[in-house]
């Protein structure tokens, strides 16, 4: 068996390792806390654990893939997102359900997130020549999600779901507005001509590395942070 050494300045591999460990630890935490979570919040905390657990498994693969090839594990990255982002939409649905959220709202959020991710994947992989167009389409779907959560149905429902849910939804809305906005930054850094034809990082390898580091940091903030907001909601509310 080959033993791969990580250079001390290999920040990409470092963030893949730390990301794996953080997602694993968060999953153990959420799963073990289920036992002393009030019944009505159990599904929400379980979903938080599923999100970090799915990410942990993908990070485990991505870490190994990156270490042995030096490449960006774009495929695993998008499989992870395709599973976890819709689950984050489920969280919004679950916490606003008691204020009357309909299943149609969940499908809208999921459909928009799938459009956002599939178009992003095209731009990063099979149609890099049109990365700007795919990025713009993906961004439009992203803004639709932001709209639903900040001003649309989710925001309105949260207002009627009691002060604790309203507060948690507002924090999650900030995650979507600021935390999720880190991803297009990674896309712009890593995709040739990603910023309307401009290249921010000239060297292609450096550009890919910057993208992976940005995505890894964003994932840790968004997946674990999101879960912790749900967790604290489950403790503040009876
Ligand atoms: C746990 C993973 C999460 C929360 C992933 C979120 C991903 C995004 C919000 C990605 C958005 C993108 C754009 C808005 C434009 C460029 C392409 C993407 C897919 C990076």
Query: What is the full per-residue pLDDT of the chain (238 aa) written as tens digits?
Result: 456 778 888 999 999 999 999 999 999 999 999 999 999 999 999 999 999 999 999 999 999 999 999 999 999 999 999 999 999 999 999 999 989 999 999 999 999 999 999 999 999 999 999 999 999 999 999 999 999 999 999 999 999 999 999 999 999 999 999 999 999 999 999 987 666 667 788 888 899 999 999 999 999 999 999 999 999 999 985 5
Ligand 1 pocket: which of 117, 145, 146, 224 to mutate (most atoms within 8 A of CB): 117
Q: Is the CB of 219 under 6 A from ligand 1?
A: yes
3-state secondary structure of 198: strand
CA distance 232 to 13: 32
CA distance 63 to 47: 24
Cα of 138 vs centre of ligand 1, distance in Å, is 8
Cα of 140 vs centre of ligand 1, distance in Å, is 11
What is the helix (H) or strand (E) element at residue 217, kind and residue range?
A: helix 204-219
Q: Which residues contact 75 (CB under 8 A, 6 or more apart)?
A: 125
Ligand 1 nearest atom to the CA of residue 180, by list position: 9
3-state secondary structure of 104: helix
pTM: 0.95
Q: Is the CB of 51 under 6 A from ligand 1?
A: no
Ligand 1 pocket: which of 184, 194, 210 to mutate (most atoms within 8 A of CB): 184
pLDDT score for 45: 98
Beta-strand ranges (E) seen in 42-122 are none
CATH architecture of 2-235: Up-down Bundle (1.20)
Q: What residue's CA is closest to ligand 1, atom 2?
A: 81
CA distance 185 to 174: 17
Asked if residues 149 and 92 have their Cβ atoms less than 8 Å apart, the reply is: yes
Ligand 1 nearest atom to the CA of residue 81, by list position: 2
Query: Tokens in use for 96?
Result: 């606003």
CA distance 81 to 114: 9
Query: Tokens in use for 114?
Result: 């799938």
Tally Cβ neighbours within 10 Å of residue 164: 16
Q: Could you please report the per-residue DSSP string of 118-164?
A: HHHHHHHTTTGGGHHHHHHHHHHHHHHHHHHHHTSHHHHHHHTS-HH
CA distance 110 to 98: 19
CA distance 50 to 103: 20
Ligand 1 nearest atom to the CA of residue 179, by list position: 4
CA distance 160 to 141: 26
Cα of 180 vs centre of ligand 1, distance in Å, is 6
Cα of 168 vs centre of ligand 1, distance in Å, is 22
pLDDT score for 198: 72
Q: Is the CB of 58 under 6 A from ligand 1?
A: no
Cα of 35 vs centre of ligand 1, distance in Å, is 33
pLDDT score for 194: 65
Q: Could you please report the per-residue DSSP string of 57-73?
A: HHHHHHHHHHHHH-S--
pLDDT score for 54: 98
Ligand 1 nearest atom to the CA of residue 55, by list position: 1
Tally Cβ neighbours within 10 Å of residue 160: 12
What value does the CA radius of gyration of the chain take, rounded to a whole number of Å? 18
């Amino acid at each position: 068996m080959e033993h791969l050494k990580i250079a001390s300045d290999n920040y990409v591999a470092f963030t893949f390792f730390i990301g794996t460990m953080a997602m694993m630890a968060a999953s153990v935490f959420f799963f073990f806390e289920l036992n002393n979570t009030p019944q009505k919040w159990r599904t929400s905390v379980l979903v938080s654990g599923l999100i970090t657990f799915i990410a942990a498994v993908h990070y485990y693969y991505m870490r190994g893939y990156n270490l042995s090839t030096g490449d960006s594990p774009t495929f695993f990255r998008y499989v992870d997102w395709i599973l976890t982002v819709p689950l984050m939409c489920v969280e919004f649905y679950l916490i606003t359900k008691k204020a009357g959220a309909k299943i149609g709202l969940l499908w809208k959020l999921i459909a928009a997130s799938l459009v956002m991710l599939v178009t992003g994947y095209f731009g990063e992989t099979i149609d890099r020549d049109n990365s700007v167009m795919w990025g713009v389409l993906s961004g439009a779907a992203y803004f639709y999600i932001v709209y639903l959560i900040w001003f649309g149905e989710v925001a309105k429902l949260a207002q009627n779901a009691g002060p604790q849910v309203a507060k948690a939804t507002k924090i999650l809305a900030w995650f979507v507005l600021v935390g999720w906005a880190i991803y297009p930054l990674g896309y712009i850094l890593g995709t040739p001509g990603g910023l309307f034809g401009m290249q921010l990082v000239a060297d292609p390898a450096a550009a890919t590395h910057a993208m992976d580091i940005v995505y890894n940091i964003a994932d840790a903030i968004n997946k674990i942070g999101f879960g912790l907001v749900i967790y604290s909601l489950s403790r503040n509310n009876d």
